[in-house]
Amino acid sequence: MLVPLMLTVLSSVHVSVHSLQGLVQLSLDLVKYNMVTVFMCTALLVFLGTLYFMSRPRKIYLVNFACYKPDPSRKVSREIFMDRTYRVGAFTQENIDFQKKILERSGLGQDTYFPDALINVPHNPCMDLARKEAELVILFNPTPSLSAMIVNHYKLRGNILSYNLGGMGCSAGLISIDLAKELLQVHGNTYALVVSTENITQNWYKGNDRSMLLSNCLFRKGGAAILLSNRPSDRRRSKYQLVHTVRTHKGADDKSYSCVYQKEDEDMKIGVSLSKDLMAVAGEALKANITTLGPLVLPVSEQLLFFVTLVARKAFKMKIKPYIPDFKLAIEHFCIHAGGRAVLDELEKNLDLSSWHMEPSRMTLYRFGNTSSSSLWYELAYAEAKGRIKKGHRTWQIAFGSGFKCNSAVWEALKTINPAKEQNPWIDEIDDFPVHVPRLSPVNSS
């Protein structure tokens, strides 16, 4: 009886030992399997996370910008402009009177600026003075280029990427911003410096084609520099973040392509001709541009109203006016290229903007004239000097240029701008603005 009992006990113990070893082995296998699974899942998450961070667009910050304010000795009143126009001796009396008429209705004030070559008597639009104007402010295309001149002046390092954009007209500033944005998406931990300028020393027309005389009356000296960064560490000290850029090019249409065109007149004198179709072309370009921009910035309610109206007009042939979206629901500040009073009037009407929204553009035209691609930055500087920019506010810059192009940039303020801490061309005189700009400002006879 004892032996079988012992065998039974021993057998039970043997079985128990085997079961325990199997359980331990099973546990080890499960742990090993789980570790492999955890490792693979972790590796997959790391890969997907890396792919996401590498593929998502880098945030572009506007660290700061500066606008050039010429010396008071370069101020040109309407009377000085007409005096220098007369002294050139190249214009007929009829075309002198024509320029006077344009100037009186232009919206330009008494304190815009000219380069030395056009203020001095006699006129001397030579290459040296054109370079001097460019160096002071930084449609002038010398060799070496203006971008090379900046590299030389500031002795920048040899691996800098330099681009010189010419022939882009007044929209070149936002084209440069868009180019810088694309470059900053490729090159990490990088800065981009954009310089916008108007150079009129060698672009003052001395002929009698009236379509080319308009630019003489409107364009003035100016320039701006904008520092962009894609470094996350720069967010804290930056003013704005670039939210959207939209570029529209109507160059495939012959009328659009030729509405702003540099050519020679009958006397072989070079000038920039502005056609009578300019306003219509600008309107079509703006329409195409905001059709792309709208869905990016407008609230759903505005997009729905626009879509319903479009369907009603196109599909059901209903005779109703096109619905103009209210961009004021998405944008707090508007900086519209100060190309001329007619352009500003048209956009104020088409976008249903108030005089408050138009104030930066109209005051920039009045105080500094048409400074080409840099005008948008004088306008933003005006809004800053007035203390209007609050954290979270969005600013829409709209530029037009030859070709024909319409370009937009939308910026979001990262901080509330304190005018007391700013240094820009408006600060020491901002309390004098806004001023009333009459439809007609007579030029006093000398």
pLDDT attached to residue 112: 96
Give the mean pLDDT of 252-270.
92
Please tell me the distance from the alpha carbon of residue 283 to that of residue 270, in angstroms, as a whole number.
27
Cα torsion 398, 402, 405, 407: sign: negative
Q: Are 113 and 368 in contact (CB under 8 A)?
A: yes
Residue whose structure tokens are 């800065």: 191
Would you tell me the crossing angle of helices 278-297 and 300-314 to the nearest 10 degrees? 130
The H or E element that residue 48 is part of is helix 2-55
Top-ranked range on mean pLDDT: pick from 17-21, 313-317, 346-350, 383-387: 383-387
The DSSP output letter for 403 is T
Give the mean pLDDT of 217-244.
96
pLDDT attached to residue 317: 80
pLDDT attached to residue 1: 37
The answer to whether residue 14 is catalytic is no
Closest CA relative to residue 174, chosen from 441, 337, 13, 409: 409
- Quick one: CA torsion of 96, 102, 104, 107, rounded to 10 degrees? -150
pLDDT at 422 over 80: yes
Please tell me the distance from the alpha carbon of residue 361 to that of residue 399, in angstroms, as a whole number.
11
Which of the pair, 358 or 40, is modelled with greater confidence?
Answer: 358
Top-ranked range on mean pLDDT: pick from 122-126, 174-178, 261-265: 174-178
What confidence tens digit (pLDDT) does each residue in 170-218 have? 899 999 999 999 999 999 999 999 999 877 877 789 999 999 999 999 9
Other C-beta atoms closer than 10 Å to the C-beta of 254 total 8
pLDDT attached to residue 33: 63
Q: What are the tokens at 368? A: 């500094």
Give the mean pLDDT of 417-439.
96
pLDDT at 114 over 50: yes
What confidence tens digit (pLDDT) does each residue in 328-345 have? 999 999 999 999 999 999
Closest CA relative to residue 170, chosen from 131, 193, 203: 203
The answer to whether residue 444 is catalytic is no
Rg (CA), the chain: 32
Q: Looking at 67, 199, 289, 337, which residue is catalytic? A: 337
Please tell me the distance from the alpha carbon of residue 357 to that of residue 352, in angstroms, as a whole number.
10
Q: What are the tokens at 353? A: 């903007």
The answer to whether residue 333 is catalytic is yes
pLDDT attached to residue 15: 43
pLDDT at 3 over 50: no
Q: What are the tokens at 241? A: 């973040």
What confidence tens digit (pLDDT) does each residue in 26-49 have? 666 665 666 667 667 777 777 776
The answer to whether residue 370 is catalytic is yes
pLDDT at 385 over 80: yes
Q: Looking at 199, 216, 333, 407, which residue is catalytic? A: 333
Q: Which stretch of 42-56, 73-87, 159-173 has the lowest confidence by average pLDDT?
A: 42-56
Q: What are the tokens at 359? A: 């104030």
pLDDT attached to residue 165: 83
240: β partners: 62, 413
Please tell me the distance from the alpha carbon of residue 437 to that of residue 228, in angstroms, as a whole number.
35
What confidence tens digit (pLDDT) does each residue in 140-164 have? 566 788 888 888 988 988 888 888 8
Read off φ and ψ for residue 312, nearest 5 degrees: -60, -40
Q: Are 170 and 403 in contact (CB under 8 A)?
A: no
* Residue 332: burial class (beta carbons within 10 Å; 0-12, 13-18, 19+): middle
Q: Are 169 and 401 in contact (CB under 8 A)?
A: yes
Which of the pair, 3 or 286, is modelled with greater confidence?
Answer: 286
Please tell me the distance from the alpha carbon of residue 325 to that of residue 352, in angstroms, as a whole number.
9
Give the mean pLDDT of 235-240.
98
Give the mean pLDDT of 274-294.
92
Which pLDDT band, with edges at 50, 70 and 90, does 11 fall under? very low
pLDDT attached to residue 64: 98
The answer to whether residue 249 is catalytic is yes
Domains annotated for the chain, with CATH where assigned, are: 61-432 (3.40.47.10)
Please tell me the distance from the alpha carbon of residue 326 to that of residue 309, in angstroms, as a whole number.
14
pLDDT at 17 over 60: no
pLDDT attached to residue 134: 54
Q: Looking at 216, 249, 289, 335, which residue is catalytic? A: 249
Instruction: Please state, for a pLDDT cut of 70, what percent of the chain lies above it.
Output: 85
Which pLDDT band, with edges at 50, 70 and 90, does 320 fall under? confident
Q: What are the tokens at 127? A: 């290459």
